[in-house]
Amino acid sequence: MTLYVSVTLVFLLPFYFCSSLSAAATSFATDESFDVRQHLSTVSRYGAGKETTIGSYVPSTIPEGCNPIHLNLVARHGTRSPTKKRIKELDQLAIHLDELLNEAKRGEKSLPQKIPSWLSGWQSPWKGRQKGGELIIKGEDELYHLALRIRKRFPELFNEEYHPDIFSIRATQVPRASASAVAFGIGLFQGNGTLGPGMHRAFSVTSESRASDVCLRFYDTCETYKEYRRSQEPAVDKLREPILEEITAELVKRYQINFTRQDVASLWFLCKQEASLLDITDQACNLFTTSEVELLEWTDDLELFLLKGYGKSINYHMGLPLLQDVVQSMEQAILAKEENHKPGTFEKARLRFAHAETVVPFTCLLGIFLEGSEFEQIQRDEPLSLPPKPPLPRRWRGSTVAPFGVNNMLVLYQCPGNASHSISASKGYKSEYYVQVLHNEIPVPMPGCYNTDFCSFEVFKESIVNPHLKHTFESVCTAQAKEEFPSPKPSSIACKLLNFIRSFFFQRDSYGNAKINQKNEL
């Protein structure tokens, strides 16, 4: 059904994106309240996402007597340099900008005054680089300090002598992920060894082969997903086109340079790289107005939603092996506590370092960033509406859902078992066990746990985990899954017409409710 929605949207693009950019819009540099670094979608640095809270939600108070006994971490690598492919794109941008500037001053002694001076002779900061995609120093710092904060927040979990079976650290075979794991481990075990002035110690980071890593690189081994993604990437590109065309026209008019749509797409990418990696916000980013930045950010967020998030259930169902691994580790910790295993004989933390393609599906499996009935919809494998277009507010923002260093923590607590009628007592447990979920270190409400961040482990399994277990990785990802996750088929003319009429006259308010669209804009 989600594929049906996306195909319908492509048909309606001229109407869905028909709003005009305000002629009065100004450069974000003139708006002191606007920080472009918080609007870079998945290219945002960790700090931009970490400081964002989930509305006015007040985190749960952990009951007295409850103590953390196990921690699961699923994290994305830290801030990285652009990939080799993107470096070549920026080199091509430099060549074309030079051609455009020469064209603009043809017959003139100098460039028009409207053209920013930095464009003249601009070269990519990564010019000549033959390699890319590596973790940069800022990324190392993000993971290192994340570890320091986690150790300070949960001292009970990290007060034992290091052993790889007690503190399991796993990463994908991609260097930026394993480097992030190392930076994290340096912070986590700092002062507990004898190496160097920082009293560091050696620790183990394990990786599975890319070809068989179904826990952290399930998207590489899921054939159904790869086919779905290939089929939908052109549709996602179509979603961007009206926005890019409109912004391109505005930039041509504003700067008197014949930018192409590809130029604008590359300049937006350059803006994200300059702002996130280099803290430069007065060059490429300054070409755009605040409303243009928000629209470009939204198109990036749509791609994240459709190809990695709630846009189609295959996106997150393929992450079931990771969810099962998390639950299994908590069950083993509970068993160790129930059987009074000695400290130092059971795992206390399972720490994983991977990619946005790993963390986002896992976030969806937990049901984070959902509203109202959307949780019930995903449990029925029903499609969700696309994130609303600016200026309407939305929860699904890449800078919060998946910035560099994004992480989900599931902390298992042991609490006094003082209620004979409790679920834990019915299971024969001596204690109560609860799960707290944190996204970017901030407790977040889960619809499956009565919209709290802290709920019984059994409720967590029953309401959040078990509904997904009607699927398996094999049933979702093998050739047999094609009936369940079919390739997109064109919707009927009647359906397209009905959707057009609805989209033309209605829009969503800030609470997601339909209302009359008086401006005929979406």
**pLDDT, averaged across the chain:** 86
**Structure confidence at residue 20 (pLDDT):** 46
Q: What b/e sequence results for 322-354 when a residue is b if at least 16 CB atoms lie within 10 Å of its CB, and e otherwise?
A: bbbbbbebbeebbebbeeeeeeeebbbbbbbbb
Express each pLDDT in 286-299 by its tens digit. Answer: 999 999 999 999 99
In the predicted model, is pLDDT for residue 69 greater than 50? yes
- CA dist., res. 289 & res. 21, Å (int): 9
Contacts 24+ apart (CB under 8 A), 384-389: 384/2, 384/310, 384/311, 385/5, 385/508, 385/512, 386/5, 386/9, 386/302, 386/305, 386/306, 386/311, 387/298, 387/301, 387/302, 387/305, 388/508, 388/512, 389/19, 389/295, 389/298, 389/522
Tokens matching residue 94: 């430099």
Beta bridge partners of 508: 514
pTM, full prediction? 0.86
* Cα–Cα dist 308/360, whole Å: 6
* pLDDT, tens only, 371-411: 878 999 998 888 899 999 999 999 999 999 999 999 999 99
Which is more confident, 52 or 490?
52
Give residue 155's Cα distance to chain centre.
Answer: 28
Sign of CA dihedral 298, 301, 303, 305: negative
**What is the average pLDDT across 220-228?**
96
Segment 34-60 shows an average pLDDT of: 85
* Statement: residue 505 has pLDDT above 70: no
Report residue 222 as tokens. 């899921």
